[in-house]
Amino acid sequence: MTVTGNKKQINQPFPTDESLSEMRREVETLRNRVEALSSLMEISAIINSTLNLDEVMMLVMEKAQAVMNAEASSVMIINEKKGVLECPVALGEVGEKIRLIELPMDKGIVGWVVQHGEPLNVPDAYQDPRFNPKVDEETGFRTRSILAAPLKVKEKLIGVAEVINRADGKAFDEDDLELFSTFCRNVALAIENARVHRLELEKQRIEQQLEAAKVIQESFMPEHLPQSLEGLFQVVARSIPAVAVGGDFYDVLEPVPRTLGVAIGDVSGKGIPAALYMARLVSDFRIHARNEQAPERVLAALNRVLSTRSRRGMFVTFFYSLLHLDTGEFHFADAGHLPFLRISRQGDSEWISGSTGIPLGISPGFPYQSGKIQLRPGDTLVFITDGIVEAKNRTGEMYSFKRVQDILSRPKLSGKDALDILLQDVYQFIGEMEQHDDVTALALGWRKP
């Protein structure tokens, strides 16, 4: 049996010009989206390729300008201190000129984006009342159309990015704006990553500087303090640097037989400059202390040297004294330093101020004066820096001179015990608060031969 079947012929209409055009548009749209997606992937690669802030912004905006087929592009970052927009990156024929311009945050297209936090498409700049032609006037550039989008990090506005003038002469459209806004989210992320990295590098640099300052500072402190085999004196000292290293220092020496020289001071400022200043000072002090016997002449000599080479307004408060071990005569001169505390064997105490001398390094010819007291057997003298009296607790209260005196007014108090008691009380007082200044103290006790 032969079976025959009818074949059904299917007629498909030939595509019209209109449908072909529609297909081409769809294909072109898809191609553009693929290119945009590829560009966004390249942006991610750029972000991960470098953490240099300027390089990141330059690379990302070069890519954005190319993808948007624009004549120029720029990134404007908010300078909160000045209240303006600064332009670290500007590409195009007048980019160098634009980088020199600061823009107000409430004018022009970028000002509108700052105020509203939304992207903006401006098809015809000179027909838009929000457009500020100032930049064109200053650079000679002619702006036709603009895409501007906010740069946000966790909803915080950090700046605005722009692309200007499509290269084909057409105006930007809403698809362009959507793509550019997506780009700008990546730009903001790139800037934030680079900023965090820069801050981390700066933190490391500061930590290294502080560590170097600490090493310099410690290297000029006496490794061993003089001791009396006859028991004529006892001298102890402690210095605890703050996180931000300052310029506290002390020194003890025997410039001539049967005398003991004691110095304490505080250099203005912090970090490496203060530590280096202190290092030079200690070297000069040791030279002059052996050439000059009177404390006031030592201060005058140091002041001349420091005033001559003083830089950036640095100065130092300084106290130098000379104890005659056989008699207990205590001569001293003061250059703006704190008073010292005298504690008797019975526990009576008093603050003794030096002369009215100004800090070293300010006035080269200042006439420093000396003071003199007679120590009694068993007296202990305590010298401190302002890191002790100005230490603050969590309520903002300062430790104060009164508290130093109250805690140390005890009978038969040795120098070592005095410093142990004082420093323990200071750190109990500040509790968990950060130490903002060096804490330095020195105690000198005298016993009659």
140 with 279, same domain: the answer is: no
Question: What is the pLDDT averaged over residues 304-310?
Answer: 84
Identify the band that residue 53 occupies on the pLDDT scale cut at 50, 70 and 90. confident
**Do 349 and 392 form a contact (C-beta atoms < 8 A)?**
no
335 with 188, same domain: the answer is: no
**Residue position matching structure tokens 């087929």:** 69
Number of domains in the chain: 2
Q: Give the per-residue pLDDT at 40.
A: 53
Q: How far is CA 237 from CA 121, 240, 249, in A?
A: 70, 10, 10
* Closest to 266 (Cα-Cα) out of 317, 341, 334: 317
235 with 192, same domain: the answer is: no
Question: What is the pLDDT averaged over residues 337-349?
Answer: 95
Among 166, 198, 230, residue at a domain's last position: 198
- In angstroms, the CA 425 to CA 431 distance is 10
Q: Give the per-residue pLDDT at 62.
A: 84
Per-residue pLDDT at 41 exceeds 60: no
The per-residue pLDDT for range 199-237, each reduced to its tens digit, is 888 888 877 777 776 776 677 788 889 998 888 999 999
Among 198, 233, 259, residue at a domain's last position: 198
Task: Tell whether 15 is covered by a domain.
Answer: no
- Phi, psi of 91, deg, nearest 5: -110, 150
Between 387 and 7, residue with greater pLDDT? 387
**Residue position matching structure tokens 């720029």:** 74
156 with 54, same domain: the answer is: yes
Q: Give the per-residue pLDDT at 30.
A: 57
Q: Give the per-residue pLDDT at 407.
A: 96
Q: Give the per-residue pLDDT at 17.
A: 64
The per-residue pLDDT for range 126-168, each reduced to its tens digit, is 999 999 998 899 889 999 999 999 999 888 899 999 999 999 9
315 with 175, same domain: the answer is: no
68 with 103, same domain: the answer is: yes
Between 270 and 438, residue with greater pLDDT? 438
Identify the band that residue 1 occupies on the pLDDT scale cut at 50, 70 and 90. very low
Per-residue pLDDT at 93 exceeds 80: yes
For the chain, what percent of residues have pLDDT higher than 90? 46
162 with 254, same domain: the answer is: no
- In angstroms, the CA 316 to CA 241 distance is 17
Q: 3-state SS string over the chain?
A: CCCCCCCCCCCCCCCCHHHHHHHHHHHHHHHHHHHHHHHHHHHHHHHHHCCCHHHHHHHHHHHHHHHCCEEEEEEEEEECCCCEEEEEEEECCCHHHHCCCCEECCCHHHHHHHHHCCCEEECCHHHCCCCCCHHHHHHCCCCCCEEEEEEEECCEEEEEEEEEEECCCCCCCHHHHHHHHHHHHHHHHHHHHHHHHHHHHHHHHHHHHHHHHHHHHHHCCCCCCCCCCCCCEEEEEEEECCCCCCEEEEEEECCCCCEEEEEEEEECCCHHHHHHHHHHHHHHHHHHHHHCCCHHHHHHHHHHHHHHHCCCCCCEEEEEEEEECCCCEEEEEEEECCCEEEECCCCCEEEECCCCCCCECCCCCCCCCEEEEECCCCCEEEEECHHHHCCECCCCCECCHHHHHHHHCCCCCCHHHHHHHHHHHHHHHHCCCCCCCCEEEEEEEECCC
**Do 62 and 50 form a contact (C-beta atoms < 8 A)?**
no
Q: How far is CA 62 from CA 17, 39, 131, in A?
A: 38, 11, 24
* Closest to 273 (Cα-Cα) out of 216, 220, 317, 219: 216
Model pTM score: 0.60
- In angstroms, the CA 342 to CA 408 distance is 10
- In angstroms, the CA 383 to CA 404 distance is 11
Q: Give the per-residue pLDDT at 3.
A: 46
CATH number at residue 115: 3.30.450.40
- In angstroms, the CA 234 to CA 67 distance is 79
Q: How far is CA 166 from CA 33, 163, 263, in A?
A: 18, 8, 73
- In angstroms, the CA 245 to CA 269 distance is 9
Q: Give the per-residue pLDDT at 33.
A: 55
Among 139, 164, 198, residue at a domain's last position: 198
Task: Tell whether 241 is covered by a domain.
Answer: yes
Which structure tokens are listed for 81? 């201190």
The per-residue pLDDT for range 269-297, each reduced to its tens digit, is 776 777 778 888 888 999 999 888 899 99
261 with 292, same domain: the answer is: yes
Treating both helix axes as pointing N-terminal to C-terminal, what angle do 174-219 and 53-67 enclose, rounded to 10 degrees? 170
267 with 409, same domain: the answer is: yes
Per-residue pLDDT at 12 exceeds 60: no
Task: Tell whether 209 is covered by a domain.
Answer: no
Identify the band that residue 43 occupies on the pLDDT scale cut at 50, 70 and 90. low
Task: Tell whether 62 is covered by a domain.
Answer: yes
Burial 402-436 (b: 16+ CB within 10 A, else e): ebbeebbbeeebebebbbeebeebbeebbeeeebe
* Closest to 102 (Cα-Cα) out of 76, 80, 81: 76
Task: Tell whether 206 is covered by a domain.
Answer: no
282 with 344, same domain: the answer is: yes
- In angstroms, the CA 68 to CA 349 distance is 80
**Do 75 and 61 form a contact (C-beta atoms < 8 A)?**
yes
Task: Tell whether 21 is covered by a domain.
Answer: no
236 with 184, same domain: the answer is: no
Task: Tell whether 280 is covered by a domain.
Answer: yes
For the chain, what percent of residues have pLDDT higher than 70? 85
Q: Give the per-residue pLDDT at 244.
A: 59
Q: Give the per-residue pLDDT at 2.
A: 46
Task: Tell whether 364 is covered by a domain.
Answer: yes
Domain range enclosing 107: 28-198
CATH number at residue 390: 3.60.40.10
170 with 256, same domain: the answer is: no
What rounded mean pLDDT belongs to the chain?
85
